[in-house]
Structure formats: structure tokens, C-alpha cells
Chains A and B, each alone.
Chain A
């Protein structure tokens, strides 16, 4: 019976899908005609001239139209069927998913703990540096930044587009204090965190009366101001040139170098840069886990609950007697502090910093990680960081694409392009992020409130995903 019902529908669908594909092709052609159809290049006399790229234009239009066609005949009906099925099963679901998540966390932690050993055994001491540094350390920095920003965006619901400013404060604090006073990394790590938190309060104080997108834009302005000051205040920050030869962290006083006092010599090992990398890996892993642990604990405290209440409804919060300014300020300061830690780690790891590392794009990447992972979900943020940063790092390694698209094809160019596209796509597809289910941090009566939670999830989902009419 179902077959009979769907057969005429699918025949109509193909014509409709063709029409949709044709319309899409036309629009895509119009959109891509100027910028893809023509290319502006400098000729030998340094004059700007036009070149045409009709085959590329035709190929892109064909690909997009084909995608639209397939979407209309395959994916859209499948989505509709799934939505129908889901509506029926929704009442019984959610329990198995939670059980799955319980296994993911210990597995991920275990993997993170043995990752350097794994890299060492698979790639050897020489090859492991790249894997531990580019993938391990790089991803973990963003995991930590994501978790830090998660306090501000995910828990307190304040969209901070200038988060990278606090990262910069941490990095420059460490670099300047270490270079001018010779203090060690371990003393400066908390100092940098405190300074960043102080800046968080300083910048947070005036802006916290603002709501939503206004707050976002002002934090963006502050982030840019700090970057511009770093560029222009040459006597202190050295401007665009940046600060180099920043001291590296030591292993409880033992430096990682080739000298007799170095780490390798002390422990009777052959000198290799991999020890420092592995040490840095565990250092940032520990810092990230501290951030996560603190977030988990804070959510149980009154202040954490106040943050989440604030995110859900600010007016209700105020009428219940929560001091919204202080609550927001603590979230801001806390988030900034973790950015400060991450910043000083970043400076210590690179040994060189310049304002280039602290552009708005960096803030956008961190916000993207938090939002795409699912605001408020630590696991989601970590997964998003692994996918997005790991994905872009992998793009560097994809040499075979050069064989497909020609030798001047540089996959890293497409990194931010895909990043932006991914942000839009995930917002449209799952506005609440990859891991959208948030465990309520407090339950009055476990069975009753979990049922209510489900009901709420059911009642809000259509408005989130399908609320397309005004």
C-alpha cells in the first residue's frame, strides 16, 4: 500500500526536482558569473586584465544543480520519512544515546593520554614531532579555548566575538614578563591568567548591559582595539615584527635542550626535540582538563546555575533577584582567565608571537567551535575542535589532491572557506550544534523533570528547525 502511495508521488517528484535543479542552476550561474566566470590577473606590464574561466563556471553550476536534483529526489524524501519516524519514536528514545555518550568520554580521555606513545611507536621519534605537535597540541589548544569560551557563550549565553583578545593578553603577558624579568613559565602561567581575567572584567564591565548581538559587536570592537594597539604600540610590543626568543617551559627546572643539564642528558636519553613536544602535549592536555573539570564543578555551584539561568531568560533571572551584572562578569572573567592560560602556553610553545596570531578570524574560529559543537556541551566542543582543527591540519597533508586538481592547487586555501560554509550549514541544519542535548544541571524530581525535559525538547524542536514562517 505504501508502495502504491509513493509511486505517483515519486514520478511527480522527478519533474519537480528537474525544475528545481534548473532554477538552482540559473541562480548559481548568476551568482558565480562575475567572480568565477572572470578572473582578474596582472599581466607582464602589471596591468590588470580579465581572463575567462567558462569550463570551471560550467562545472560548478553543473555540480550544484546536480546536488540540488539529488537533494530533491533522494535526501528530502528521506529526511521527511525520518522526521516522521522520529516523531513516533521520540518518546522512547534518548536513553540509549546517553549510554553511548557515557562510553565516549573515557575512551576519548584514554586515547588522549596514550596518543603521544601511539604516535611515537607508529611514526618513530622523527615523524612523531609533526603528529604530536600539529595534531595533538594544536587541537588541544583549541579544545581548551573552546572550553574556556564555552563558559561565556555556552553557559552564560553571552556571545563574545573578541575572545582572542584575552588569548593575546595571556600570550603577551607571558612573552613580555618572561623576556624582561626572566620569570619562569610556571610563575607566569597564573599571572597571565590573572591579567587576562582582569582585562575580562575591565572590558566586560561597560558592555554587560547590552543584549545579544550588540554585546557581540562590542566585544568584537574591543578585540580589534587590542589587536590594533598591539600592532601600533611598537616600543612595547614590537608591532608587526612581534616578540621572538620567548623562553620555553622547563620540566620542573630542567630545560629541554641538548646541553648536559638538559632533559635528555639528565635522564640518560638521546637528545631529540620530541621530548619537548610530548611534554607540551601533556601540559596543554592537563590545562584543558583543568578547564573542563572546573566547568563541570562550576555548573553545580550557584554561580553556574545562575549562568545557565541567565542564558535561558535574563528578565526572569533579574526578577528572581540574581545580580545579572556580577554573574555576567564572573563568566567573562572566568572565560578570559582560561584564554590567558592558553595564551601563555601558546607563547611558550611557539617561542614567537605577533599580532597576526590574534585576528578576528581566530575569534571566529573559536566561536565556531563552541557553536558547532553545541553550546554548553563539553564533549561537543571537543569533537568540533578535533573535526575543524584536525580537518584543516589534514588538509595540509592531502598531497594527492594536487594530483587531481593540478599542481597549483593548495588545499589550505579552502580551509576558511569550508569553515564559514560549515558554520552556516550547521546553523541551518542543527541550530543547537552537533550535540544538542544538554543534561539539566539540576533536577528537582528526577523522573518528573526528565519527562518534562523531553516534552520541552519535543515542543521546541519544530520551532527551532522548521520555524520558517515569521
Chain B
């Protein structure tokens, strides 16, 4: 039981990170119908940006307060990652709109390879680790029991930041003119354009939001695990994509639910079965969902029009 509760806590933390990345996949897929393969690598780049910002703040500027540092790191990472994703959309995807179906996907794969190798060349192939900090935990079980169930402050930070940003983001999509424009473009781009919505701009903003959430995930990932390397984009990217598919691609609450589920499945699998095969479990879920439940938990069934 204690193991289960502990894994539940770990799983929700991991799932929050996956959920944040998954929203990027689901939004981009919703609006232009492409699998943004490079999104996992955008996430990885954002973790690097957060790493550099953190080092800059702590070692050069000497900011001691954890909360202020984290806040600034988040803002910096969100800004630069958004710029990156905006530029990627401009350079690699926009010219391909209206091209044949697989062209943007292939371009995105190229971009993914480019980004991970760019980071490898620019920052070196070694795993970067930050000095351990903020390691206090809250022990939930009484001291007498054998197994300690603990929640670390880091995990609470991950939950709070994720929840806060999800709320901001939900507000943006459901209550503002921008969100309405986005949903209009999702449904019918031509009609939206006729009604005076700048479709290109809306798509750009979608990429910017996706990147900002990926940057939050990247910062949380860096803080939670304390390490990042150039190869860290691929597997979390695929898992987050799995989450998006599992939740129903195109559905925002679905992405969050999918992310939490994938995080829980992964930690439970590692705890009760075999840690070696945890990635196999995630990839299998992807295949199984795609085959048996392609519309996901909350997604609309995909009707093919001729």
C-alpha cells in the first residue's frame, strides 16, 4: 500500500510533465493536423535554456531565493522556447501548408534531428547535472512504519506550477478572442479566414503557446530530475505524444488526462514489473491505443470526408 501511494505521487508528478508536453502535440494537431515530431526536442531545448538561465542566476547574479529564481527561469525559458518554436513553424512548416500530407511530418522529423544534434554540438554530448537543491521532503507516514511515503517540495512545486499554468492556459483558450480564433481555425480554416481571422497568425500563436507549455515542462523536468542531455527529447516526446493520443488527440483535457495516465502507468510498471521494459510499456500503449482506440478517451471520432 505504501509503495502504491508513493508511486501514485511520483506518477502524478511525471504525468504532469507529460501532460504539459502533450498539450503542445494536441493543439498543433488540432489546428493544422500534423504530428509535430520536433516537439519533444523543443522540450529538451527548453530544459537546456532553463539550465543556462538557472546557472546564470545562481552563479553569476547570486540570487539565493529559490522561488524568485524559479520564476525568472520559467519566464526566460518560456520566452526563448516560444521564439524557437515560432521560428521553426515559420521556416519548416509554414511553406509546406497545402503540400502533400506527409511533407510537414518529414520536415518535423528533420527538425527534430537538427535540434538534438544542434544541442549536442553546441553544448556537448555529456549529461548536464545541476547541483542538488531544494531537497526537503514531507513524510506522510508515521515514523514507526517501515516504508516512508514522502512528498518532496519539488513534487509539490511541479503540481502547483502545472495546475496554475493549465488554468491560465485554459482561460486563454476558452475565454478570450484568441482562443475563439483558435477553435475556429481548428474547425474550418477557410471559413475562419473569410470571417476575418488571421489564420497564419493564429497558427503561429498556437505554436508559441505549445512551446511555452513545453518550456514549463522542461523547467520542471530539469528541476525534478536535475539532469538533462541532448538525447532527452525523443523518449519523453514519444511518451507525451502517446498521452495526447490516449486522451484523444485534439482534446485539451484529454491531453492532461492522458499525460497523468501515462505517468502513472510508467511508474507503476517500473515498481511492480520491470524497470527495463518501462519504455516498451509506453510504446506498446501507443500502438494499442492507436489500433483499438484511435479517437482516444475524450477525442471526437475521426470521420474521413471525401
Contacts and interface: CB of A to CB of B under 8 A. Distances in A.
A258 interface: no
A213 B277 contact: no
Contacts of A159: 102, 105-106
Contacts of A228: 277, 279-280, 283
B137 interface: no
B35 A420 contact: no
Contacts of A361: 113
Contact of B92 (A214, A232, A360, A424): A424
A50 B114 contact: no
B173 interface: no
Contacts of A371: 106
Interface stretch (B47-55, B62-70, B143-151, B154-162): B47-55
Interface in B257-298: 276-277, 279-280, 283-284, 286-287, 290-291, 294
B135 interface: no
Given A225-B283, A470-B189, A420 B130 contact: no
A420 B110 contact: yes
Interface string A361-390: 100100110010000000000000000000
B110 A422 contact: yes
Given A31-B87, A159-B102, A228-B280, A423 B121 contact: no
Contacts of A231: 276
Interface string B79-100: 0100110010001101111111
B35 A364 contact: no
A105 interface: no
Interface size class of B (residues with CB under 8 A): 35 or more
B35 A216 contact: yes
Interface in A89-121: none
B121 A424 contact: no
A467 B91 contact: no
A218 B105 contact: no
A144 B173 CA distance: 49
A333 B241 CA distance: 27
Given A206-B291, A210-B291, A468 B110 contact: no
B117 A221 contact: no
A301 B263 CA distance: 48
B119 A35 contact: yes
A42 B101 CA distance: 45
Contact of A207 (B101, B106, B291): B291
B287 A222 contact: yes
A49 B59 CA distance: 8
A361 B114 CA distance: 11
A42 B114 contact: no
B113 A419 contact: yes
A40 interface: yes
Given A221-B283, A413-B121, A428 B83 contact: no
A431 interface: yes
Contact of B80 (A33, A50, A211, A360): A33
Nearest to B279: A228
B306 A315 contact: yes
A460 to B, nearest CB: 9
Contacts of B80: 30-31, 33-34
A213 B49 CA distance: 30
A464 B99 contact: yes
Given A218-B287, A364-B113, A417 B118 contact: yes
Contacts of A210: 290-291, 294
B241 A217 contact: yes
B75 interface: no
Contacts of B87: 27, 31
B280 A220 contact: no
Interface in B110-125: 110-115, 117-124
A11 to B, nearest CB: 28
A217 B112 CA distance: 14
Contacts of B131: 47-48
A176 interface: no
Contacts of B48: 34-35, 40
Contacts of B105: 159, 212-213, 216
A467 B97 contact: yes
B122 A35 contact: yes
Nearest to B49: A34
B193 interface: yes
A470 B94 CA distance: 9
A40 B128 contact: yes
A41 B124 contact: yes
B190 interface: yes
B8 to A, nearest CB: 25
B187 interface: no
A50 B83 CA distance: 22
Given A221-B238, A224-B238, A423 B283 contact: no
Nearest to B192: A470
Interface string B229-246: 000001000100110010
B114 A421 contact: yes
Contact of B129 (A48, A207, A213, A229): A48
Contact of A420 (B100, B111, B199): B111
Nearest to B274: A232
A225 B238 contact: no
Contacts of A414: 117, 121
Interface string A147-186: 0000000000001010000000000000000000000000
A40 B60 CA distance: 13
B17 interface: no
A306 B17 CA distance: 44
A126 to B, nearest CB: 33
B45 interface: yes
B56 interface: yes
Interface of A: 27, 30-31, 33-36, 38-42, 47-50, 159, 161, 206-207, 209-214, 216-218, 220-222, 224-225, 228-229, 231-232, 315, 360-361, 364, 367-368, 371, 413-414, 416-417, 419-424, 427-428, 431-432, 463-464, 467-470
Interface of B: 34-35, 45, 48-49, 51-53, 55-56, 59-60, 80, 83-84, 87, 91-92, 94-107, 109-115, 117-124, 126, 128-131, 189-190, 193, 199-200, 234, 238, 241-242, 245, 276-277, 279-280, 283-284, 286-287, 290-291, 294, 304, 306
Would you list the 5 A-B pairs with minimal beta carbon distance, nearest first? A423-B110, A467-B98, A420-B113, A420-B114, A417-B117
Given A159-B102, A212-B102, 17 more contacts: A34-B53, A39-B123, A40-B128, A210-B294, A213-B101, A220-B238, A221-B238, A221-B286, A231-B276, A419-B110, A419-B117, A420-B113, A423-B109, A424-B91, A427-B106, A431-B100, A470-B190
23 contacts: A30-B83, A34-B49, A35-B45, A35-B52, A39-B122, A40-B52, A40-B123, A48-B130, A50-B59, A159-B105, A210-B291, A213-B34, A213-B101, A213-B102, A217-B35, A221-B286, A221-B287, A228-B277, A368-B110, A427-B92, A428-B107, A468-B98, A470-B199
